[in-house]
């Protein structure tokens, strides 16, 4: 797929307002949270859920006139799907990478230690180093699942309830796993493997459905 800057910019503009809100919120939370940040931090999990849903809603408003106009410009369905995924990935990295760097470069640890006089730092700083990777994994699972849902819902001849229930079930399972503070090593590997399989399945399924997407003109 050849990158078309104009098409990427069109998608990017749709999610720019969400990015303007999400970036300072996430950065401030990571800098100012008093407790050490674990992979299953509940507030971070809620933020990732809301942010992922907001990104997909902004890109997947298939009943809008702008959506209809875009799909009438002669782009292939694969190009449209691919650029939507690129824009989503760029939006996620725009939020996730600064937060990860704050932790990895120990900027958060230094602020907590020197300015906020937290008793947890710098002792607990190494414990937080792996947390951003789990957060990125959460983004991959949720964004791919939500993208599949909106594409499925845009199919007039298909029942969308199953896709919605699947997404709700995935969120419930993830929230349940996050509620436990400890997992054996084999269970963590199993969860990662199932998450990767779910992500790939949702992306491939979404692409195949998108090729048959019916766009209703006004």
Q: What pLDDT is recorded for position 100?
A: 96
Q: What pLDDT is recorded for position 218?
A: 46
Cβ pair 49, 194 in contact under 8 A? no
Q: What pLDDT is recorded for position 211?
A: 79
DSSP calls for 119-155:
TTTTTTHHHHTTHHHHHHHHHHHHHHHHHHHHHHHT-
| Six token digits for residue 173 | 């399972």
Q: What pLDDT is recorded for position 113?
A: 92
**How far is residue 176 CA from its own chain's centroid?**
18
Helix axes 5-32 and 77-104, enclosed angle (nearest 10): 30
Q: What is the pLDDT of residues 133-162, one digit of tens each?
A: 999 999 999 999 999 888 887 776 656 666
- Please enumerate in sequence order all residues whose Cβ is within 8 A of that of 2, keeping only pairs 6 or more positions apart, or say none: 79
How many C-beta atoms lie closer than 10 Å to residue 34's C-beta? Answer: 10
Q: What pLDDT is recorded for position 182?
A: 63
- What separation in angstroms does the CA of 112 have from each of 33, 124, 126, 130, 183? 9, 11, 14, 18, 28
Residues of the chain with pLDDT under 50: 217-218
């Amino acid at each position: 797929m050849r990158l078309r800057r104009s098409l990427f910019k069109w998608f990017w503009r749709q999610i720019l307002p969400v990015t303007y809100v999400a970036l300072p919120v996430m950065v401030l939370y990571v800098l100012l949270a008093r407790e050490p940040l674990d992979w299953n931090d509940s507030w971070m999990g809620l933020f990732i859920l809301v942010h992922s849903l907001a990104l997909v809603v902004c890109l997947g408003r298939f009943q809008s006139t702008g959506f209809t106009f875009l799909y009438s410009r002669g782009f292939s369905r694969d190009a449209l799907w691919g650029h939507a995924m690129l824009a989503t990935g760029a939006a996620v990295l725009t939020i996730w990478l600064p937060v990860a760097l704050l932790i990895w470069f120990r900027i958060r640890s230094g602020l907590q230690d020197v300015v906020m006089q937290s008793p947890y730092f710098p002792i607990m700083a190494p414990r937080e180093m792996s947390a951003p990777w789990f957060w990125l994994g959460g983004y991959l699972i949720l964004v791919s699942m939500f993208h599949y849902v909106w594409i499925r819902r845009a199919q007039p001849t298909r029942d969308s309830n199953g896709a919605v229930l699947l997404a709700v079930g995935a969120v419930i399972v993830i929230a349940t796993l996050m509620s436990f503070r400890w997992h054996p090593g084999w269970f963590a590997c199993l969860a990662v493997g199932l998450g990767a399989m779910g992500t790939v399945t949702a992306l491939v399924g979404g692409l195949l459905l998108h090729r048959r997407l019916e766009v209703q003109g006004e």
